[in-house]
Structure 1
Amino acid sequence: MKKLYGVIGDPIAHSMSPVMHNDLFQRYEIDAAMFPFHIKRESLQDAVKGFKAINLAGFNITVPHKTAIMPFLDDIDPLAEAIGAVNTVVNEDGRFIGYNTDGTGYIKGILKEINSLEGKKMLLIGAGGAARAIYYTLASMGVEHLDITNRTLEAAEILIEHCPYPTHSEVLALAEAEKQLSKYDLIVQTTSIGMEPNVDESPLCLDGIKKDIFVGDIIYTPLETKLLRDAKGNGARTQNGIPMFVYQGALAFEKWTGIFPDTERMQSVVLQQLGGKTC
């Protein structure tokens, strides 16, 4: 009997997860299919009950439900619990277990470009849900120096305060961070600044960065944000958000099937959908 998977959000029509995962099901000859489900906040609990009733094998969660869904699950992985958000649910013998693969997915993407995070000094731009997932995951891996710059300092302070893993972190105003950029080995941009249609916006001036720095942006529409263009202009290595999207999906696929899939194939499918040729 064909296994059914889903991805839920509001909106959801833009999601590339069904195309990416359905290609993988075909590639690995798995009798399964993923469908998008447009779920409103007020219908979220009923949706989870319905998924249980039809024995949905698993599903992904995108905005705005990553936190709201947590009370309706049977169990939550400790890292997802700490992050306060779930993006992947696995049906384990009728019990819905929540995980968060966003942070780990991002880090796997980074490690395609750099050999190790050991001893690196990092600056995160932003203090929202994506920043929390990346920050907590890095902290859980033992990365020690993780500073945060954000428009609202209080949000960054709360993020650090609630982190259950030991790390050394400072909260910096954007102007203050710009003065200290030369001390960082990695800068990770986690906000929506620079996303289409506001492609000429950037959260930070990068004129003071080191030449061999790595700058990542979780955005992939456009494929190259102004921040990444400016970073390249200053001699940095750069990466957009496609590797994070691909690897978080690969980790979800592995949790559902036991197979870690071909991420190059996944990236190719995503780029084809976006109409782009490079990452």
Structure 2
Amino acid sequence: MVDVQQLAAFIYRNNTGIQKCGYAGSTLADIVDDLEEGLKESSVLLYEGDEISAAVLLDIYESGEDGQCDIEVWGPFSRDNDTGRIRQLLDGLQTAASEQATRYIHFFVSGENRPFLDVLDASDAFSVLKETGHYHYAADLNVCFPSVHNSSLSYITMTGSESGLLELLNGLHDAAFPDAILTKEDIAAELKRSPHSEYDLYSILDEGCFTGYAIVRRNGITSTIHLQYLGVTPGARGRGTGRQIIGFLAETYRKRQFNSMKLVVSENNPAAICLYERLDFCRESAMQHIIVSK
């Protein structure tokens, strides 16, 4: 029987430095919630006596067709980042992946985690299909952001009843983020959960015409919002639209007592990197999204 509190404390303690995992929750309470929602049942754990010495958690979800699934891997987390334990964890991951119709396995790890990256490179069990660098940024919502006043933009909070706007939003989302983890099916599911969802979805109009969208995830425990996706139609790019949307979000959530905004940007998106750095977002870390098959 997995001790949720013990496992959560181990992950929280080790989810830092080069062992940082982009999937794991940022607070102990977040991690406990995720474990209690089922992640504890799909974990690979190593022990020394009664103490956890290494762990990976497997977030398994349906994807593709014919009952296939993808696995998002929390970790690996290992005391002292020991390569021997990392190999054992990957062996356990391979076994778990072989027990179902696994399509892809996703890691989201620090680009400086050489012990893990070297073990993965040397493994015969997994084939790396794609590797993309991502930068984590953060900004203080209490500092000055662009004013949204006197703007031609209007913001529609999506509730699920705006079928025409939702179709446009999904089309832009698919075009801008073809490999997005949050699919249009996920978006529909979150809208059905409204107002109890932790996500807020906005369609942005410019003089009545659809011009972009934003998807925000709220974390009330840390008073942080995570800008999951921001998309602007091709005709609206280069005109300060993204800057105005960021200003709107900063003002909106500051009034709701949120203190910080965080986001992740692909290294292949120089325009977005330039935008956020001009707005004084601070780069916190560099991460690697690695997709493998077994």
TM-score, L = length of structure 2: 0.27
Larger radius of gyration: 2
Larger relative contact order, structure 1 or 2 (CA cutoff 8 Å, min sep 6)? 2
Of Structure 1 and Structure 2, the greater strand share is in 2
For normalisation by structure 1, the TM-score amounts to 0.28
